[in-house]
Amino acid sequence: MTNRRTLLKSVLAAGALSLPGLVAAVPAAADELATLKEKGVMRIAMSGAYPPFNFVNDKNEVVGFDPAIGTEIGKRMGIEVEIVTTAWDGIIGGLLANKYDAIVGSMSITDERKEVVDFVGPYYRMSRGIFVAEGSNIKSLDDLADATVGATLGETHEAWAKDQGYKVRTYKGLPELLLELENGRIDAIVTDDIPVLLAVREGDRKIAQRDTSSLPGVADEAGIAIRKGNPELLAAMQAALDEMQEDGTYLEIAKEWVGGDIR
């Protein structure tokens, strides 16, 4: 765990050094809430490749649970929201380099990430899922030892799969993972269970889930990442999120995009 933590900090530092705005990437001297209110716009980032949480529709709009949550938070803060899509494996580096103001992209809250960013939330809970094609010879986690496992690059699931010693191939997002699995180019995928279960239900995909109940730490919580050193911004965003959950708006959004309460 210590080695992974050190590696994460090193990668992020290297990413910041290679990007414009290095000086601005250090923790802000003044809280950013006042600056955002003055500008009237908050830029939020996500991959755009994680349906139904965030994805690009046929009108080339980024939609889903995450954009809806982020937009509603901004509305309650009196700030317009601009959505930015970016590769997941570099998304924290982009935040530290001031390319956007927050990550509202279904990011798991981990101790490693909390060393470099602060989190608003959690705003939903997820579980790790292992999925295979129907009829697969993979019946249990033990069968993954000789399998090729797909994961999204930069996700906690990728790190977990590598820690297990699995042969891992990485992809940009869920659509690619599902396509590769269905075409037989990988034997299994490891990812959050909700999006895959919804994709199976809505698209009649020939995909089966394997039991992960024996795994320790299988559940994760998703949070909204912001740069450290901004307690006022964090408090304002948390208050907006709490209000949404209390007045029923959160549940309306969750029902629209994922079919029910995922808190």
Would the pTM count as exceeding 0.75? yes
Query: What is the structure's pLDDT at 108?
Result: 93
Domains of the chain with CATH codes: 2-125+222-258 (3.40.190.10), 127-210 (3.40.190.10)
Q: Binning pLDDT at 50, 70 and 90, where does residue 21 land? A: very low
3-state DSSP assignment of residue 78: coil
| Cβ neighbours of 32 (radius 10 Å) | 20
d(CA 90, CA 167): 22
Q: Does the pLDDT of residue 27 top 60, yes or no?
A: no
Question: Sign of torsion, CA 100 104 110 111?
Answer: positive
Q: Is the pLDDT of residue 219 over 80?
A: no
Closest CA relative to residue 219, chosen from 193, 258, 245? 193
Sign of the C-alpha dihedral, residues 49, 207, 122, 114?
negative
Q: pLDDT digits over 160-214, tens only?
A: 999 999 999 999 999 999 999 999 999 999 999 989 988 888 877 889 999 887 7
Greater pLDDT, 227 or 263: 227
Q: State how far the Cα of 172 lies from the Cα of 87, in Å rounded to an integer.
A: 7
